[in-house]
Amino acid sequence: MRTQVAIIGAGPAGLLLGQLLHVAGIDTIILERRSGDYVLSRIRAGVLEQGTVALLEQAGVAARLHAEGLRHDGFNLAYDGARHRIDLAGLTGGRHVTIYGQTEMTRDLMQARAACGAPSLYEAAEVHLADFDSAHPRVTCLFEGQRIEIACDFIAGCDGSHGVSHASLPAAALSLHERHYPFGWLGVMADVAPVSDELVYASHERGFALCSMRSAHRSRYYLQCPLGTEIADWPDARFWDELRQRLDPQTAAALVDAPSIEKSIAPLRSFVAEPMRFGSLFLAGDAAHIVPPTGAKGLNLAASDVHYLAEGLIGHYREGRASGLEAYSQRALARVWKAERFSWWMTSLLHQFPDSSPFDRKIQAAERAYLAGSRAAMAALAENYVGLPF
Ligand code: RFL
Ligand code: PHB
């Protein structure tokens, strides 16, 4: 088999790249380790920046997003018994975010890809990248019992943090930067009206909590939990009780318990692998970087990487221009590091750190109080939350 760009991974990064390249007349083959149903069953992000929405429009897959996505002009911080609204629109000259589940975005992209007949090999095993230090890279895999080889011009490594792409690179070619946080997030999905029209990020001495949503009838809630927490230790009743304790009284009073339809735990981590290009192999999305979810940046960073990469590839094929691909790693990383900083900062501001000193906790509380009373501080938060320009 032969294609122009072999894409490893059918998460949002791989699928979005495939669709943008398809619209530009560039051929791709996607290889995905899991089944399509499995990919769709992973509950993850829910907040899209305007730049991400614009890319979905460019890819021709934004119709349902525009019909069903929820526009949010602000969100709330809750601590010390009160709610503090961050007026995103008012603080950023009218910008907003859109609530639309990563699963829904993935479903739209999968359907568009199927409709245009572009090949995707789901349940591809033993994916192996070869010769990507040359202009003739290859990808091999085991698909439906057969060994397949794909010759291509470029490989896009969009296979997430546990993928094969960055693991294929010689250790000496990469600098790895990493921070582990001493807690995770326990997430619950429930078919019940959200507790508030806008998201609530709560910081409490019992730990962080987040009230999010997927629609007017589906809520998504998270609790900070210690590492090693087991889902079995968190029957629904305990989850709702703990969430209620961490919220301000106004929000707590409005919270309605409902049976969970999904429950999962994710540890929090910051990670960057640089550079994001090695010869003919380009890394994009979680394959190159991870942020803790507090700033809602992971999926949006995957989209901005894809924007830079698609632009580079389109410049290469349409105009024979190498400059976009040559600049890819540097352009993507400049934005990645700002989102890394913001995600680390928001995580540090709102979570309880088990090894913090009384001094650390006083400083943290002072920063929250400053934020609640300073328009300049709120504007810096809002500008990052809606997404920095590409
Ligand atoms: P993905 O989604 O992990 O997709 C990678 C795909 O590659 C496949 N794969 C392979 N395929 C072939 N061969 C191999 N050897 C392979 N190894 C892996 C995998 O099966 C998978 O299908 O990465 P991608 O596309 O870069 O997308 C990144 C986003 O998924 C991620 O950053 C976000 O979900 C992060 N995130 C959030 N981001 C936001 O922007 N806003 C949010 O509100 C937000 N909330 C979250 C989040 C992540 C969370 N968790 C679970 C970590 C909330 C949570 C709880
Ligand atoms: C979500 O709805 O899953 C979500 C929202 C905001 C975040 C993280 C996750 O910061």
Helix (H) or strand (E) holding 388: none
CA 283 to chain centre: 15
Residue 293: pLDDT band (50, 70, 90) is very high
Cβ neighbors of 63 (< 8 A, separation 6 or more) are none
For residues 98-104, average pLDDT: 97
pLDDT of residue 292: 98
Phi/psi at 287 (5° precision) = -60, -25
Predicted confidence at residue 267, as pLDDT, reads: 97
Does residue 297 have an active-site annotation? yes
Which residue among the candidates 79, 100, 181, 201 is catalytic per the annotation? 201
> Comparing C-alpha atoms, which of 100, 101, 109 is closest to residue 36?
109
d(CA 211, CA 253): 13
For ligand 1, residues with CB inside 6 Å are 8-14, 31-34, 39, 44-47, 102, 124, 127, 158-160, 162-164, 185, 187, 266, 285-286, 293, 296-300, 302
Q: What is the largest CA-CA distance in the chain?
A: 63
CA of 132 to the centre of ligand 2 (A): 36
DSSP string, 159-189: --TTSSHHHHS-GGG-EEEEEEEEEEEEEEE
Q: How far apart are CA 321 and CA 342, in angstroms?
A: 33
3 state SS of 201: strand
Ligand 1 atom closest to the Cα of residue 300 is 40
How does pLDDT run across 131-156, given as a tens digit for each residue? Answer: 999 999 999 999 999 999 999 999 99
Ligand 1 atom 48: residue of nearest CA: 44
pLDDT in tens, 12-54: 999 999 999 999 999 999 999 999 999 999 988 899 999 999 9
Question: pTM of this prediction?
Answer: 0.97
Give the full edge-to-edge strand order of the sheet including 70-72. Answer: 47-49, 97-99, 70-72
Give the pLDDT score at 51.
Answer: 98
From the CA of 253, how far away is ligand 2's center (Å)? Answer: 22
> Amino acid letter at 227?
L
The arithmetic mean of pLDDT across residues 213-237, rounded, is: 97
C-alpha count within 13 angstroms, C-beta hemisphere, residue 285: 27
How much is the pLDDT for 285? 98
Under the banding of pLDDT at 50, 70 and 90, the label for residue 183 is very high
Name the residue among 296, 294, 282 with its Cα closest to residue 333. Answer: 282
Check residue 117 and report its DSSP letter: T
Average pLDDT over residues 75-87: 97
Three-state SS at 59: coil
For residues 274 and 255, give the distance between their C-alpha atoms in angstroms, rounded to a whole number: 43
Residue 212's pLDDT band (boundaries 50, 70, 90)?
very high
User: How much is the pLDDT for 13?
Assistant: 98
pLDDT band, very low/low/confident/very high, at 108 (cuts 50, 70, 90): very high
Residue-wise pLDDT for 227-242, tens only, equals: 999 999 999 999 999 9
Catalytic residue among 12, 22, 72, 221: 72
Question: Is 370 in the active site?
Answer: no
Q: What is the pLDDT of residue 388?
A: 98
The rounded distance, in Å, linking the Cα atoms of 376 and 385 is 14
- pLDDT score recorded for residue 111: 98
> Ligand 2 centre from 48 Cα, in Å?
10
pLDDT bucket at 180, cuts 50 / 70 / 90: very high
Respond yes or no: is residue 389 known to be catalytic.
no
Amino acid at 92: T
| Average pLDDT score, the chain | 97
Task: Convert 29-61 to b/e letters by CB count within 10 Å (16 or more is b).
Answer: bbbbbbebeebeeebbbbbbbbbbbebbebbeb
Residues of the chain above pLDDT 70, percent: 100
Q: Is the CB of 160 under 6 A from ligand 2?
A: no
Residue identifier of the C-alpha nearest atom 2 of ligand 2: 46
How remote is the CA of residue 55 from the centroid of ligand 2, in Å? 20
Q: Could you write out the DSSP letters of every residue in 283-321?
A: E-GGGTEE--GGGS-HHHHHHHHHHHHHHHHHHHHHH--
| pLDDT tens string 313-323 | 999 999 999 99
253 pLDDT band (50/70/90 cuts)? Answer: very high
CA-wise closest residue to 287 among 306, 307, 267: 306
**Residue found under tokens 């969430």:** 243
Which H, E and C letters describe 334-372, residue by residue? Answer: HHHHHHHHHHHHHHHHHCCCCCCCHHHHHHHHHHHHHHH
pLDDT at 366: 98
Distance CA 271, CA 52 (A): 21
Instruction: pLDDT band for 308, please (50, 70, 90 cuts).
Output: very high
**What local confidence, expressed as pLDDT, does residue 198 receive?**
98
